[in-house]
């Protein structure tokens, strides 16, 4: 499994996340939220201002998120890479991730904050764990079964749904 850290930037205009390999300072990707929108929208780009890779959009009540790839030529969202569905009312932090025909369920518990998406045979294809730190940080571990975009943007969706105060 490959590991990445998704860390929310402090003191930024809008919501910004930096994606790095664990315990390094080199930013591999940046995820930027759009300001002044009625629904959450995020864009995954290479490095800090590089090429757009994927978009994450949600509905107004943050129960359904959709991850789409971005066409290189036009910069428009194209193919759906995956979707996340959260229950509108739940005591536990749960989600359903759909990628193609595959559906993965994850349960982050009440306080634990570790979401594991497993195949039918029990093998983990994606793990997102909220780390205790001053800044909101998630450790994302993913396999080749899911695209990197799905793993990284799923962490942002979890943060947006369960941990953001706005």
Contact 147, 130 (CB under 8 A): no
- Residue 44 vs residues 29, 30, 65, 113, 116: alpha-carbon distances, Å: 7, 6, 14, 23, 22
Summarised one tens digit per residue, pLDDT across range 41-54 is 999 999 888 899 99
Q: Tens of pLDDT along 13-22?
A: 889 999 999 9
* Separation of CA 108 from chain center: 14
Structure tokens at 138: 């998630």
Within 8 A by CB and 6+ apart from 62, the residues are: 40, 86, 160, 161
pLDDT digits (tens, 9 = 90+) for 46-105: 988 889 999 999 999 999 999 999 876 566 778 999 999 999 988 889 999 999 999 999
Distance of CA 162 to the CA centre of its chain: 12
- Please report the pLDDT score of residue 81 as a whole number: 95
- pLDDT tens digit string along 118-147? 888 888 999 999 987 778 899 999 999 899
The CATH number that applies at residue 26 is 3.20.90.10
The total number of residues shown for the chain amounts to 166
Averaged confidence pLDDT in the chain: 90
Q: How many domains does the chain have?
A: 1
Q: What is the pTM of this model?
A: 0.91
> Residue for token digits 């994450």?
56
Beta bridge partners of 42: 33, 56
What pLDDT is stored for residue 73 in this prediction? 59
Kindly give the residue spans of alpha helices, DSSP state H, lying in 44-134. none
Where in the sequence is the domain holding 13, given as residue range(s)?
2-163
Distance, in Å, from the CA atom of 138 to the CA atom of 159, rounded to the nearest integer, reads: 9
């Amino acid at each position: 499994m490959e590991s990445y850290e998704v860390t929310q930037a402090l003191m930024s205009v809008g919501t910004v996340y930096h994606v790095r390999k664990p315990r390094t300072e080199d930013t591999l990707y940046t995820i930027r939220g759009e300001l002044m929108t009625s629904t959450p929208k995020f864009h995954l780009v290479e490095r800090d201002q590089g090429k757009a890779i994927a978009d994450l959009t949600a509905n107004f009540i943050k129960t359904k998120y959709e991850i789409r790839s971005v066409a290189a030529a036009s910069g428009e969202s194209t193919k759906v890479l995956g979707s996340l569905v959260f229950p509108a009312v739940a005591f536990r932090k749960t989600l359903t991730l759909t990628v193609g025909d595959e559906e993965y369920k994850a349960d982050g518990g009440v306080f634990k904050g570790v979401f594991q998406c497993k195949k039918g045979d029990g093998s983990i294809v994606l793990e997102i764990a909220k780390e205790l730190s001053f800044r909101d940080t998630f450790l994302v571990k993913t396999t080749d079964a899911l695209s990197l975009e799905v793993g990284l943007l799923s962490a942002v969706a979890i943060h947006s749904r369960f941990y953001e105060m706005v």
